[in-house]
Structure 1
Amino acid sequence: MEHMLLPEDKELISRSLAGDHVAYGVLVDRYKYLIFTLACRLLKNKEDAEEIAQDTFVKAFEALKTFKGDAKFSSWLYRIAYRKSLDRIKQNKRQPILNSIEDDGVRKLKAADGILEAIDRKERKELLKATIDRLPEIDATLVTLYYYEQLTIREISEIMDMSQNAIKVRLFRSRKQLESLLVVDIKTINSN
């Protein structure tokens, strides 16, 4: 199913397999922020996320010949980053340090639109990021992949190795939890 691959990705992958390191560098530049964001959401630590992002691209390069193109290249990278992040969490066996990350394109969550209208755009963005950081790692990852990265349920299912129904249920619960946290936060802000 080669149609899942962007034409530019397919060409860059072919060139990379032929030894063109510049072509692989273009792929890295194209997806490095997305992979870093995913790792940061899971690990909640910028330094660990940077290391996982680097490890992801090294592993992807080493395994590039096994990439069949039946899914998007970005989904394949996400899956590698997701597994490496989970391994790091297990390895560290510690609570992740909370760090917020900067995102340029925050898409509004449908469930929280009415609540967020009371806050100006910048405050809304900061509040939303901080609230997502308070969700459990897997839920924060789901919200990030679905709303920030705009991946489909099917793509997220492949990345996280969960059924599509499980993703839908977990995403629904995450939105409800996020909405509840936002209501409390906004009440706190308005009472000050």
Structure 2
Amino acid sequence: MQENYFIEQVKKGNTHAFKFIVANHQKLVVHIVGRIVLEHDEIEDVCQEVFIKVFQKITEFKGESRFSTWIASIAYHQSLNYLRKKRRLNETSFDEDVSILKIATAVTPEEIFANNETKRIVKQIIESLPLTYRTVVTLFYLEEFSYTEIVQITGMTEGTIKSHLFRARNLLKEKLMNSVLKEK
């Protein structure tokens, strides 16, 4: 795989090869950091810290997991470190649209408005979840990591991850139903 070549080149000190790694994984890192870090202005700084850490620690990557899992783990931990420094561990936000709901392509302006409104409501509901639930939902549903990979990224047990997903789904259903009932 081409990525392995670039990883080995970076391990040998080739900084130009690191550009490939950043380009291939920047979206993943921004996605994870953006869902944990509250302040939009700070996301870029935390992402830079993630890639600095990746560059510094790349010799420690042994290939026992996917490289994206390893980078996601660094992004997750750097984001939490940022929050700890800011003493805001319980506050996070989503800055991008939520893609949990598969909404059919709208045809009329009314349908477009309804779809955008649904996305906005789901995004707000997910933002209101506790950090651990939101993190697991992001990694499992949005980033499509397996339970094993989420264990590697977060350090939580598989049982804890499954429990958080179950509870998060129940909270999402409950809050979504309450939101729908309020509108009627």
TM-score of the two chains, using structure 2 as the length reference: 0.84
Whether the 8 Å CA contact 1:12–1:24 is kept in 2: the answer is yes
Q: Which runs of 5+ in 2 are unaligned?
A: 103-112
Aligned to 1:160: 154
Partner of 1:9: 3
Give CA deviations for 1:4-41 in whole Å, capped at 9, x if unaligned. Answer: xxx23212201222333232112112211221221222
Aligned partner of 1:55 among 49, 55, 61:
49
Shift of residue 98, structure 1, vs aligned partner? 6.0
1:10-49 alignment, distance < 5 Å: 10-49=4-43
Aligned residues: 174
Contact kept? 1:43, 1:96, Cα under 8 Å: no
Q: 1:67 aligns with which of 53, 61, 81?
A: 61
Amino acid of the residue matched to residue 36 of structure 2?
A: L
| 3-state DSSP of counterpart to 1:39 | helix
- For 1:159 and 1:97, locate their aligned partners in 2 and report how far apart those are by CA, in whole Å: 20
Say which SS state the counterpart of residue 63 (structure 1) adopts: helix
Give structure 1 regions of 4+ aligned residues with deviation exceeding 3 angstroms. Answer: 94-100
Residue 179 (structure 1) aligned with residue 179 (structure 2): no
Partners of 1:72 and 1:17 in 2: CA distance: 16
Map of 1:106 onto structure 2: 99
Structure 1 distance, partners of 2:94, 2:151, is: 25
Per-residue deviation, 1:80: 1.1
Worse overlay, 34-43 or 59-68: 34-43
The letter for the 2-side match of 1:129 is: K
- Percent pairwise identity: 28
Equivalent residues of 2:132, 2:164 under 8 A apart: no
**Deviation, structure 1 residue 93:** 1.2
Contact 2:36-2:92 within 8 A present in 1 as well: no
- The answer on 1:94 being equivalent to 2:101 is no
Deviation at 1:49, TM superposition (A): 2.3
| Stretch moving more, 22-31 or 138-147 | 22-31
CA–CA distance in structure 2, aligned partners of residues 108 and 12 of structure 1: 36
Stretches of structure 1 lacking an aligned partner (at least 5 in a row): 1-6, 110-118
Aligned-pair RMSD on alpha carbons? 2.1
